[in-house]
Structure 1
Amino acid sequence: MGCQPSAAPPQTPPETPPQASAQASPQASPQAPPKVYRKEVVVAGSPFQGVHGMAVDGKGHLLASNLLGQTVHSVDLKSGAVSTLVGPPLGGADDVTLGPDGSVYWTGYFSGQLMRRTPDGKTHIIAKDLPGLNSLAFRRDGRLYITQLGRGDTLWEADPEGKKPPRKILSPVGFLNGFEFGKDDRLYGPILLKGQIVRMDVDTGKMEPVAEGFAMPTAVNFDARKEHLYVVDAARGELVRVRLPKGSKEVVAKLPTGLDNLAVGPDDQVYVSNMVDNDIRVVNPADGSVRPLVEARLSVPSGLAVAPEDPDEQLYVADVYAFRRVGGRDGKINQTTRVLSTRLNFPMNVSLSAKHVVLSTAYLGGHSSVQVLDRASGELLRTIPTPNGAQGALELPDGTLLIAEASTGKLVRIDNAEPAKTTVLTEGLSGPVGLVADTEAKEPAVYVTEVGSGKVTRVRLSDGSRQTVASDLRAPEGIARHPDGGLIVAEVGRKQLVRIDPATGQSTVLASDLPIGLPESEGLPPGYIPTGVAVGRSGTIYVSSDIESALYRFVPAP
């Protein structure tokens, strides 16, 4: 996500007009006459960056957790209006619940922290050093239980006051996700690795299956009388009612795939979150009808690409929970490939070659990879695990892949053999994030943004030698080449878009006061959710907004 590293030296931002459009300096480049850019919306934003766990507060609101946006929200159940209860960086919640005294508790998947907001509005860390902290629930007697998932596989009992360290109950569990306690004080929850719902005695750790045959059950919740369970199946897009004690199943509603969690109100209305569609829907279990509560069009737009020969300037969008194709001119979403129900791995960056789309993700905990897709059909051709995380990724003319590892500071090559062989092109970079190729030059090279050092660096492909093109930037992330030869960079630390002349390093502000740059968070590599930049053949510049989950374009004035 767009961050402003403390390692970057303090700089005074250059003087820019307060509007989103800015006049470029006539000294920018002899090849690039000054232009005025008009800011336009391609796809409007959303209050969430993927919505996950939820809890009904009994006061007409729904608490909703927003992991990547690092916030806990309150949603009005009548109007769907969304407000922020806890903002970044402390609000990075994967799941949320209410304690007996009205305190709000949530889990920080990346930070590994269990958080509490007391009724007086104060926020406290009550447990830490639990990477992959995921789900939580209270038992009737006030005991609190939490799980690690992905970066761990453990069920813990936590002290709601934070005075005692967590106590391990069971490990491994089999990836226990969103769980609840029944009237019998047994834990009921989905075991992802087995596709089943189990009942557990938390005092002994003994588990037994309640219902089976799910594709990917991600969460359960009891109805208002705590007699039957509702289950969301993310891969099938189903809300299923499990009748206890026999465990018979009934599909209540068919929804889009990507379901993450659910909450049941006192009137038995079921609130279902979908992280792919970044929305919350309400299901009436009496008749299976579905209505929207909070809607969105994108989830977490980050990396962008556009084919230089495309007159329609169709955008390829790495939307973290989906890969989408969006009309650059009309904002129409033309194609969506979803995580969980396909083999897609949480795309954060995207690039294009003549025949392929290359997607990469810096997600740690088993999901980090580079994936190669056929541009024409969208078929997934190749998945290469990248244990160090992958930021920018390019396919070079000879078919090899070039990967930026922000966490190690390396650029690595991955050949097109099976199994793939990896070699280091260069190392010692400070948070490499964005890549753009210059393979037609006399000495083919790649330009790299270094989010930690504030540099744009040119790396020669033949031997890995480096040359600083521009410095004194703040957290540069996305980068693209303009048809006039200039480099367009999202300078996230100053919330602006700049053009850099690759020959002179001259930097020109094109737009400022942009809604980019979520604050950095513990446990995340540099530039975790990158601000994407792409340039169409018309010279229109496209930028993703992590803060607003939106897409913008900057159109050059005639």
Structure 2
Amino acid sequence: MAANPVIGFQVDPEDIRTVGHDLQRPECILAEPDGSLWSADARGGVVHISPDGSQKIITQSEQTGFADVGEEAKRFTTGTLPNGLAFARNGDILISNFGTDRLEIMKRTGETRVLHDTIDGAPIGKVNFVLRDSKDRIWLTVSTKIPNWMDAISPSIRDGYIALADKNGLRIVADGFAFTNEIRLDAREEWLYIVETTARRITRMRVAEDGSLSGRETFGPSDHGAFIDGIAFDAIGNLWGTHVMTDRVFAITREGDLQIILDDDRGSQTGKALLRAFDEDRVTPDLQMACGGTIAPWMASITFGGSDLKNVYIGSLRGTTIPWFRSPVPGWPMIHWNEGTKR
């Protein structure tokens, strides 16, 4: 078997380039084959960065031009904070909105409608990430039911869950997670990989034909000693990810070994103070806000792009641009990559 190019690979900060400017909270990034990037933005929408580097913010507005879906689904209010993004099959953008606590869908011109804001008759909670699979089902993570998410940064809270939306509606398929964050399906869609941010681990569960989940187990280290945020697979099965607030990029090999690829924290005292406070269940917003590197403050998502899928883009919660570097292996293409989505 050929050697895994990720083992021993590290990024020299001098080789990191950036794309985009004056962004606000570019947490999640989608890449398209033509070189376009789409970044969530705290101004209430998505920034489209064209292949030539020009950019335009598309802000969400109350939907117009959609088929009648009922008054309840048409509500759109202020307080929007797009977090996770995914492309619908037709090229519209699915948005897990951390501000409105809803799953929404936005046309590329900004018109937005609500897909789901309740589950089992109750508010959904802090919707974090959205993922579409090859069966056109939508997977949704909810980090916590606590309105202020910072209050959920605790080792004792396990109220996160995963929901699945298909032709039968929206239903919970697994719960009891420690601040559910990003999720990814493997190449065969046999396993769902789940970030549990405050458990500081990645969990995986087997996916049945009907979308039900079973066989919960830890993938990789049982404790990263850091809070995990985003994940993405490369083409040979390594799972890449980020440590948020202590700002590192890592990869976990197929055998479960952790490789640190980029470290923008380097054992800082603020990061150590945060982790000590977490272990004692006394994390405060001030301790969190004191953390963060300079490359992509509060690293969040990880996205493969470029024509060869070897560009690695880093999303962040406090950055204003998108850093990127070259990977020795291409990323695994997301479901939209080869669909020829309609524009």
One fold, TM greater than 0.5? yes
How far has the Cα of 1:263 moved from its partner? Answer: 1.1
Which among 100, 103, 106 is matched to residue 155 of structure 1? 103
Q: Deviations over 1:6-30 (max 9, x none)?
A: xxxxxxxxxxxxxxxxxxxxxxxxx
Q: What aligned pairs does 1:54-453 form with structure 2 within 5 A after superposition?
A: 79=11, 81-87=15-21, 89-90=22-23, 92-99=25-32, 101-109=34-42, 111-128=43-60, 131-149=80-98, 151-160=99-108, 162=109, 164-171=110-117, 172-193=123-144, 194-201=159-166, 206-245=169-208, 246-254=213-221, 255-284=224-253, 286-297=254-265, 319=270, 322=271, 324=273, 336-337=275-276, 342-347=281-286
State how far apart, in whole Å, the 2-side matches of 1:250 and 1:360 are: 32
**Contact 1:257–1:341 (CA under 8 A) maintained in structure 2:** no
How far has the Cα of 1:282 moved from its partner? Answer: 0.3
Distance 1:297 1:257, change over 3 A: closer
State how far apart, in whole Å, the 1-side matches of 2:289 and 2:201 are: 29
* Structure with more relative contact order (C-alpha pairs < 8 Å, separation 6 or more): 2
State how far apart, in whole Å, the 1-side matches of 2:44 and 2:103 are: 14
**Contact 1:258–1:340 (CA under 8 A) maintained in structure 2:** no
**Contact 1:271–1:283 (CA under 8 A) maintained in structure 2:** yes
Q: Deviations over 1:215-256 (max 9, x none)?
A: 221110111233321111111111112110143212111212
State how far apart, in whole Å, the 1-side matches of 2:82 and 2:265 are: 28
SS of the counterpart of 1:177? strand
**Contact 1:323–1:347 (CA under 8 A) maintained in structure 2:** no
State how far apart, in whole Å, the 1-side matches of 2:280 and 2:245 are: 10
How far has the Cα of 1:271 moved from its partner? Answer: 0.8
State how far apart, in whole Å, the 1-side matches of 2:275 and 2:178 are: 20
Q: Report the residue type matching 2:219 in the other structure.
A: V
SS of the counterpart of 2:176? coil
Q: Deviations over 1:351-410 (max 9, x none)?
A: xxxxxxxx999xxxxxxxxxxxxxxxxxxxxxxxxxxxxxxxxxxxxxxxxxxxxxxxxx
Instruction: Determine which structure has the larger helix proportion and give its number.
Output: 2
**Contact 1:235–1:340 (CA under 8 A) maintained in structure 2:** no
How far has the Cα of 1:136 moved from its partner? Answer: 0.6
**Contact 2:226–2:275 (CA under 8 A) maintained in structure 1:** no
SS of the counterpart of 2:283? coil
Consecutive unaligned residues of structure 2, counting only runs of 5 or more, are 1-8, 61-77, 118-122, 145-158, 298-318, 321-343
SS of the counterpart of 1:235? helix
TM-score (norm 1): 0.39
How far has the Cα of 1:99 moved from its partner? Answer: 3.6
State how far apart, in whole Å, the 2-side matches of 1:262 and 1:360 are: 22
SS of the counterpart of 2:264? coil
Distance 1:158 1:263, change over 3 A: same
Q: Deviations over 1:315-365 (max 9, x none)?
A: xx6x5xx573xxxxxxxxxx84366994413316xxxxxxxxxx999xxxx
State how far apart, in whole Å, the 1-side matches of 2:259 and 2:187 are: 20
C-alpha RMSD over aligned residues:
3.2
TM-score (norm 2): 0.62
**Contact 2:10–2:262 (CA under 8 A) maintained in structure 1:** no
Count matched residues.
242
**Contact 1:195–1:212 (CA under 8 A) maintained in structure 2:** yes
Q: Which contiguous aligned blocks of 4+ residues in structure 1 show a shift greater than 3 angstroms? A: 77-81, 99-102, 128-131, 335-343
Consecutive unaligned residues of structure 1, counting only runs of 5 or more, are 1-76, 302-316, 325-334, 349-358, 362-514, 519-545, 548-558
